[in-house]
Structures are given as C-alpha cells and as structure tokens.
Amino acid sequence: MNTKVLAALGVAALAVCPAVRAQSSGIRTYCNPVDIDYKYNFEQLNEGISYRSGADPVIVRQGGEYFLFETIAGGYWRSRDLIHWRFVVPSRWPFEDVVAPAALSVRDTMYLMQSTFEPRPILYTTAPETGRLEYYNRWLPPLPRAMPNGAPPPWPKGAIPPGPWDPALFHDDDGNRWFLYWGSSNEYPIYGIELDKKRRLAYEGEPKPLLSLHPELHGWERFGRNHGDTIHPYVEGAWMTKHDGHYYLQYAAPGTEYNVYSNGTYVGESPLGPFTYAPYNPVSYKPGGFATGAGHGNTFEDAYGNLWNTGTTWIGANWTFERRIVMFPAGFDRDGAMFSDTRFGDFPHRVPTKRWKKPDELFTGWMLLSYRKAASATSALDSFPASNVTDENPRTIWVARSTSPREALTIDLGHSAEVRALQVNYADYQSKRFASDSTVYTRFRISTSLDGRTWRRAADLSRETRDRPNAYIELPTSLRARFVRYEHLHVGAATLAISDVRVFGNGGGSPSPTPASLTVTRAADARNAHIAWAPVAGAVGYNVRWGIAPDKLYQTYQRFADEGSELELRALTIGQHYFFAIESFNESGVSPVSEMVRIQ
C-alpha cells in the first residue's frame, strides 16, 4: 500500500477490536535508550537551544531498590525492577545542579557527590526513596596541589587541575578504606586519592595520577566519529569495581559527542595501582545501530548477582551534548576479563529474575521489523517527512504541522508479522522548554491492522502523567499486524517531533544465512583493519564481532545491509592479535556465526 493511501486513512478508522492494556505489571523487558522522563534543563538557555537530555549515569542499589543519578536532572529516579522508573524530587540538591555525579551505597547509607571545581559538600541518605538528603560534610576542601577555579592552564609542574570533576567514590571492604577517583580532560590523567572516614571523607595524602590515554597505541581511544579525528581525546568517567581481589579502574574515551564513546579498564592489585591496561579493551563499545555510544557510566550489581554496565548514548540533533542513557549486561569471564554485552544492545532484552549464565540469554530475539519501511503522516513540515521515523537515526526527525490529537503516523511493515514491542522516540524541534514541569508529559495510542481498514488498539497511554521521550511498550501478548499506527494525544513541547518509531517482533520466516567470504586485513597502521564479506540476500544487517580469543568475541559493530558489506574498523590495539567473525540478521532471526579469522 503506497504512502498516499496510508495518509488518506488518517485516523478515521479507529480501533474496533477490544483494546489491549500494554503497560501491564507483567512487563519483563527493556530497550535502550532507557525509558525515563529525561528532563529539559537550563544548560543552553542563553543560546536558546531547547532539548531533553540525560548523561553520565550512575545506578546504585540500596534497600531492595535501584537509584539512577545523571547529569542536570534536578533529582534522581528509583526502581524496583530496572524497568519502571519514578522520579524523586530531593529535599536539597547541591547548588545549581549535579553534573556527572558520584553515588555509592555502603551498607545502609548512600553517598552523593557532584562534579566541582571548588569546595562542595558530600550528601548522604539512609532513605533515598523519600528524597531526604543530609550533609555528610559541609565542605570538601580544595584538592591538595589543585589550582583555584578560574586559574588558566598551563598550570605549574606538579599542580592538579581544579576539581574533582567527574568524581567516583569507592569503598573497599578490605580494611574499610575509602577512595576517590576523578578527571575529565584531554590533557590531564585520571587521578585517585584515599579518603579518611574518621574525618568525614577528608583527603588523605596527595592525588596520584593513575592512567592516561594513549591513542597512538589504542585505536579506540582516538577522537571523532569512528575514531577519525586527530584532536587529542578526552579521558573521563572514572569508576572502580573490585572482582576476585583485583581492582578494575574504568574510564571513558574518547568523547561523549561521538558514536564511539566507550568504557575501558585498567587492572591493578590495589585501589591506587599500579594499573595495567587490559588487552581486551574497550570493555563497553557500541558504534553502530540506533543508540550509539556506551561510555561514561558505572558498573553495578543487581539483586541476583548479575552485573550491568551503564553508559551515555549520543543524540546530537539539537546540540552536541544532547544524550540519553543506556545499560548493558556485563560481567567477568573465568580469566577475569571484564566485558559488556552490546550485541543487539538497542533491541529488547529481558531483565533477569535470577543469575544468568551467559549475558546473551537476556536477548529476547525480537527483531527489528520497521527498518526503512514505508511511513505516512497526517501532516509534515517540509524537510521533516514521515519516512524519517523508520531510518534508525535519532538525528533525522518527523515534525507534524500541529500538536493536536488529530496527528498520526502509520507504518506499513510490508507483510504480516508478529509484533511484540514498540519504541516511540520523541525528538525536540524548537521545543522552547528549559525546565520540566507538570505540563511536560507524553500521551499517545498505538493501533495495529492486518489490512489497513480494521484496527486494533495495541497500547493506550492516554492517561500517562510522565514525559517518556523514549517510550518502550512491551505488548502483553503478541499481535499479528502489517500496519502500525501512532495516534497522537499530547506532548509538552511546542512541536510534535519524533525521530523513530521502532517495531520489534518476528517476521515469520527463516533467519538469513551466515555471511561468506569474511576477510580481515590489518592496515599499515595496526590500529586499523579493513573488513569485508559477501552480501547476504534478504539480510537487514550484520554484526561484526571480534575479541582477543575465540571465546572472547566481546566487541560488536552493527551494520545495516544498505550500508554495504565493508567496514574500516579503527579500534584495535597495536601489538594485540584478534579473532573476527560475522553474523547476519533479518526480521526472523540471526544466522549462525561464521568461522573465525585471526589477525596478528
């Protein structure tokens, strides 16, 4: 059915079959970006650029609940299941707001610290669900040997940049010792210092430089899209995890505004090192797909002992630093290698109810049904057509001519398929908001049809009171459908703009076959490799997978089939050998992985 016919259908044919309540208590899956009410903020007020954003997440668990902190939100979120998040307005919030916060739960107390260039307090709470925060110390003094805020570089030899910026708190059960890590710079390293619990976490000793970037050795640390820029990269986002007696000092690189923003780690035998670069780096890497970027987050343990790695994904439609939050299953293998599973990392995944054996068992197998499918709308501004909602690109958007409830989008999947979940990703276009209040919420309905004439209500968010810029809808039961319609009700912005409506399920056929003729050629610059394979008819895309051993293919680069069957990978470490394999996927599943190719 062509787009003119779809547009003519409009919203006249309302659902005539019984409505399905989509957001039931039985929901057990999530989809990145994380579905929270990302806030408008004052960050670009002077420039007049309005957008929602969320970045630099820290998730901690206390008292049977999870608490999510991020940059400039005016508060934090709480959840019992890592799926449903509710915003908490705190009793006090550090000064103008929190940027790149440090949060840590130790026994029955949670500690909170903001990024700062001058003395600021550490807060604490024993009841984070209430929002009540107290001062743990009134003023953390200036860092030893730190230059005052406003002092311009270059600073004297041995001086420390003002801070701590991008802090991370760590408590070591061995000896009840406390530590602080911090740093955000393309010139200065990540630092660490011990804290004195007896003196309200005052600094003990002097800061110690712990790690710096070496982009001349580590390809993934290079700046720019796909590591293609010569600007010196940024190291930031420190986090410490202890496992099996080893200390994993994590860091983010090369820059939050690129698809290759990642987390890596150095490993040591003590909290302040010395630390050794992990040969399997980066730990969390997601350069392809819809939600690109995985850097600057934290590692936390859920109620069942499973590990997760959080991060920041890049939007960048309105402003360079427009971002969202992602989380991926993570862990340590039997050799102590740290990993994060980003394969199909922006497709629906189960939230576990027990200890998993392999992280990929959390993948639902619900495939993307909407890629490049025909879409129509009741109206569209010039240069913002409905076709943008199926291109898996958050930087291209559909903008309706009004925000009235008559506006609608219809996607033709091209054939009948089993629909299991959807994700509606709102965008900001001339939103004219610089703060979130009670008027900022999203309401819509989703209907499906087999023939474009008879419609069934699949999801009804007509009473939603939250803003859900990345609303994920898991259907309680699967539905057969060819057409999927978004029916608009309310958005808190000045315009109705949507980047993508993503539909997941099963196409009902067979998975595409394994790609043949995989070749991997390392370049003269050993940080780079040229990868090629034979195109697979009917494939929606490919996952190029690699790692330092046949059982450690922890890295994935997702490519859609219409992007071609070649890839220049610029993320390798000089002197490190690698193993590569590839798989294809379509709307019905994933192929077996290919035979491996080894490069020196």
Q: What is the pLDDT of residue 87?
A: 97
pTM above 0.75, yes or no: yes
DSSP structure class, residue 589: E
CA distance 519 to 523: 13
Using one digit for the tens of pLDDT, what is the confidence trace for 427-454?
999 999 999 999 999 999 999 999 999 9
Cβ burial, residue 247 (10 Å; 0-12/13-18/19+): buried
Residue 353 resides in a domain: no
Q: Please tell me whether residues 81 and 115 are part of one structural domain.
A: yes
Residue 530 and residue 500 share a domain? no
Q: Domain check: are 446 and 393 in the same one?
A: yes
Same domain, 286 and 147: yes
Would you say residue 46 lies in a domain?
yes
Q: What is the model's pLDDT at position 26?
A: 65
* CB-based contact 504:420 (threshold 8 Å): yes
**Which of 314, 346, 378 is the last residue in one of the domains?**
346
Q: So what's the pLDDT on residue 24?
A: 44
| Per-residue tens of pLDDT for the chain, all 600 residues | 333 333 333 333 333 333 334 444 567 999 999 999 999 999 899 999 999 999 999 999 999 999 999 999 999 999 999 999 999 999 988 777 899 999 999 999 999 999 999 888 999 999 999 999 999 998 888 999 999 998 988 888 889 999 999 999 999 999 999 999 999 999 999 999 999 999 999 999 999 999 999 999 999 999 999 999 999 999 999 999 999 999 999 999 999 999 999 999 999 999 999 999 999 999 999 999 999 999 999 999 999 999 999 999 999 999 999 999 999 999 999 999 999 999 999 999 999 999 999 989 999 999 999 999 999 999 999 999 999 999 999 999 999 999 999 999 999 999 999 999 999 999 999 999 999 999 999 999 999 999 999 999 999 999 999 999 999 999 999 999 999 999 999 999 999 999 999 999 999 999 999 999 999 999 999 999 999 999 999 999 999 999 999 999 999 999 999 999 999 999 999 999 999 999 999 999 999 999 999 999
Q: Are the C-beta atoms of 179 and 172 separated by less than 8 Å?
A: yes
Burial class of residue 598, CB neighbours in 10 A (0-12, 13-18, 19+): exposed
Assess if residue 297 is contained within a domain. Answer: yes
Which two structure tokens, joined as six digits, stand for 362?
A: 């959390």
The CA-CA-CA angle for residues 456, 458, 459, to 5°, reads 135
pLDDT of residue 28: 94
CA-closest candidate to residue 517, choices 579, 410, 454, 597: 597
What stretches of 412-471 show up as alpha helix (H) in DSSP?
none
Tell me phi and psi for residue 127, to 5 degrees.
-140, 70
pLDDT tens, position by position, 28-77: 999 999 999 999 999 899 999 999 999 999 999 999 999 999 999 999 99
Residues 328 and 215 occupy one common structural domain: yes
Asked if 276 and 143 sit in the same domain, the reply is: yes
Q: What's the token pair of residue 300?
A: 């936390």
Half-sphere exposure of 345 (CA within 13 A, CB side): 35
* Domain assignment present for 104: yes
pLDDT of residue 138: 84
374: exposed, middle or buried (Cβ count in 10 Å: 0-12, 13-18, 19+): middle
- Same domain for 526 and 479: no
Q: Is 461 helix (H, G, I), strand (E, B) or coil?
A: coil
Kindly state whether residue 514 falls inside one of the protein's structural domains: no
Q: What is the pLDDT of residue 14?
A: 37
Domain assignment of residue 471, yes or no: yes
Q: Kindly state the DSSP code that residue 7 receives in the 8-state scheme.
A: H
What letter would DSSP give residue 220?
A: G
Single-letter amino acid, residue 151:
A
Question: Helix or strand or coil: residue 43?
Answer: helix
Q: Is there a single domain that holds both residue 207 and residue 269?
A: yes
Q: Check which CATH number belongs to the domain holding 532 and give it.
A: 2.60.40.10
The alpha carbon torsion through 62, 125, 465, 441 (nearest 10 deg) reads -110
Residue 106: inside a domain, yes or no?
yes
Dump the DSSP string for 337-393.
Answer: -EEE--TTTTS-EEPPSS--SSGGGGB--PEE--TT-EEEES---TT--GGGGGSS-
Cα–Cα dist 480/43, whole Å: 44
Pick from 252, 168, 256: nearest CA to 211:
252
Of 346, 377, 394, the domain-final residue = 346
Instruction: Give the pLDDT of residue 448.
Output: 98
3-state SS record for 475-513? EEEEEEEEEEEEEEEECCCCCCEEEEEEEEEECCCCCCC
CA distance 35 to 290: 15
CATH code of the domain containing 385: 2.60.120.260
The predicted structure's pLDDT at residue 93: 80
Structure tokens at 35: 């579905």
Q: Are residues 314 and 422 in the same domain?
A: no
The set of residues, in sequence order, having a beta carbon less than 8 Å from that of 300 and lying 6+ positions away, is 59, 60, 61, 66, 307, 308, 310
Between the two ends of the chain, the Cα-to-Cα distance in Å is 51
Q: Do 13 and 79 have their domain in common?
A: no
CATH number at residue 313: 2.115.10.20
- Domain of 495 in residue numbering reads as 3-24+367-506
Q: Count of domains in the chain?
A: 3
3-state secondary structure of 6: helix
Q: In degrees rounded to 5, what are phi and psi of residue 445?
A: -130, 155
Tokens 């991926």: give the residue.
Answer: 328
50-to-31, 258, 266, 385, 465 alpha-carbon distances in Å? 25, 20, 38, 21, 21
Decide: 166 and 55 in contact? Cβ < 8 Å.
no
Q: Give CA–CA dist 424/19, Å, rounded.
A: 19
Question: What is the spatial distance between Cα 361 and Cα 368, in angstroms, rounded to a whole number?
Answer: 18
Residue 400 lies in a domain: yes
Q: ∠352-354-360 over CA atoms, to 5°?
A: 50
Shared domain check, 80 and 211: yes
Check residue 27 and give its pLDDT: 74
Closest CA to 100 of 79, 130, 59, 69: 69
Query: Is the domain of 127 the same as that of 275?
Result: yes
Cis peptide before 128 (omega within 30 of 0): no
Burial class (CB in 10 A: 0-12, 13-18, 19+), 476: middle
**What pLDDT score was predicted for residue 141?**
86
